[in-house]
Structure 1
Amino acid sequence: REGNPAGPNAGRRTSKPRTDARTSGGPVAAAPTEELTSKLESRRGPVKVQLNTWVLASTEARLKWLVKNRGFTVTSVVDVALQELLDRYDVPVADPDGRIGEQ
């Protein structure tokens, strides 16, 4: 529209820039510090994979008792038990990603 003193977009609706809902209306968080980042990364823990198996009912009962009465998790009990068995039979140690180096 030539001759319009308000410019070519006069009378048209323009959209507002979108705001991040996580930060709108509140203080903006500072970038994470190196200390905070290292604490967060360390909580990830080692890589885990699912292991499905069958055990005797008597073994399951003992495992449930241990979890209930000693505050362990099934995952930690099974992992420790398997690690001890593998160490006893001199199975090579794997890296955190689950790879065994050449022997």
Structure 2
Amino acid sequence: RRPTGAARAAAGSGKRASGAGDFGGAGTPSPELTAKLEPRKGPTKVPLNTRVLASTEARLNWLVNDRQSTVTNIVDVALQEFFDRYRVPPADHDGRITEQES
């Protein structure tokens, strides 16, 4: 298996990965390492698979790099703005839309 990009970058830089071997006394993990291992809390995310034009992907990748963001965050914001423009009702945290009366 080939290492991932992050693994190749860490191996090639000669630096230890952040948090690697950071232990306090008596084998207790440091607070920094413990914080990194805490489960991430936030809204539930589900996979969304689609195909886009090569030109769209190029623009998306540019924005990801320019804004130091992620594809997931950019696509979510873009879709939310699109839904708002077309007055699609909001969904609750479980993904249910409750139709609003006019």
Give TM-score scaled by structure 2 length.
0.58
Query: Of the candidates 87, 95, 98, which is equivalent to residue 98 of structure 1?
Result: 95
Which structure 2 segments of 5+ residues have no match?
1-25, 29-37
| CA deviation after TM superposition for structure 1 residue 26, in Å | 6.7
Deviations 1:62-87 (A, max 9, x none): 11011112101000000000000000
Number of aligned residues: 66
Return closer, same or farther for 1:92/1:65 CA change in 2, 3 Å cut-off.
Answer: same
Q: Which has the higher contact order (CA 8 A, sep 6+)?
A: 1
Measured on the aligned residues, the alpha-carbon RMSD in Å equals: 1.9
Runs ≥4 residues deviating over 6 A: none
Does 1:74 find its partner at 2:71? yes
The question of whether the paired residues in 1 share the 8 Å contact of 2:89 and 2:99 is answered with: no
Aligned residue for 2:82?
85
Larger radius of gyration: 1
Partners of 2:27 and 2:83 in 1: CA distance: 53
Which structure 1 segments of 5+ residues have no match?
1-24, 28-39
Q: How high is the sequence identity, in percent, across the aligned residues?
A: 68
Q: Is the helix fraction higher in 1 or 2?
A: 2
SS in 1 for 2:51: coil
